[in-house]
Amino acid sequence: MKIVMLGPQGSGKGTQAAKIAEKLNLPHISTGDIFRENIKNQTELGKLAQEYTNLGKLVPDEVTNKMIADRLSKEKKGFILDGYPRNSKQAKALEEMTHIDYVINIEISDNESVRRISGRRTCESCGEVFHTIFKKPKNEGVCDKCKGKLLQRDDDNEEVVRKRLEIYHEMTKPLVDFYRNEDVLIEINGEQPIMKVFKDIVMNLEREKE
């Protein structure tokens, strides 16, 4: 089974992708991991991607598509793909690479996205992540693991989050219509507890297979 995960920042698609991958015994393929792996191993594509990121530029679709195609070619059984495609060009490229069985779109409002992301606090020492609502530290501003200072990352503040959401709506959300027309879209209410979202996804996948 080949599944793509869609959803805005803070929707929990990474968390759900990992849970579905475990349930279905399929690899969870994260675009971020693919980039980091290629850059770490200094592959030809990794070096090219790093040139763009070092300049603060987006990696061109052509480079991203080649990385994804190389990774997916190794998975004959199926996969859960998280973080790709991000735009219509990438979706068309993915169609040429392989057939996608289902696209799971986890929906949350912009305000909920901001609430979830802007509440994150990261330990400056060990990198452990806490949240002002969902995962409070025992002592405010102090990491439970190493007693390091908890900080809000620059890209987690509300202004930055809303700018990222604008880009999402402009570039990624049209994919929802694209996959709806392909009749492979499963829409899930992401403003529920994690396990309820997971159960809804599993129930919909089982229903689709019948």
Q: How far apart are CA 31 and CA 85, in angstroms?
A: 9
CA 61 to chain centre: 17
Determine whether 86 is an active site residue: yes
Catalytically annotated residue among 66, 89, 164, 173: 164
Determine whether 120 is an active site residue: yes
Catalytically annotated residue among 2, 115, 120, 121: 120
Catalytically annotated residue among 47, 92, 145, 153: 153
Determine whether 153 is an active site residue: yes
Task: Point out which residues pair with 109 in neighbouring strands.
Answer: none
CA 168 to chain centre: 12
The DSSP line for 17-84 is HHHHHHHHT--EEEHHHHHHHHHHTT-HHHHHHHHHHHTT-PPPHHHHHHHHHHHHTT-SS-EEEES-
Catalytically annotated residue among 19, 86, 116, 121: 86
Q: How far apart are CA 152 and CA 51, in angstroms?
A: 27
Q: What are the residue numbers of the active site?
A: 13, 86, 120, 153, 164
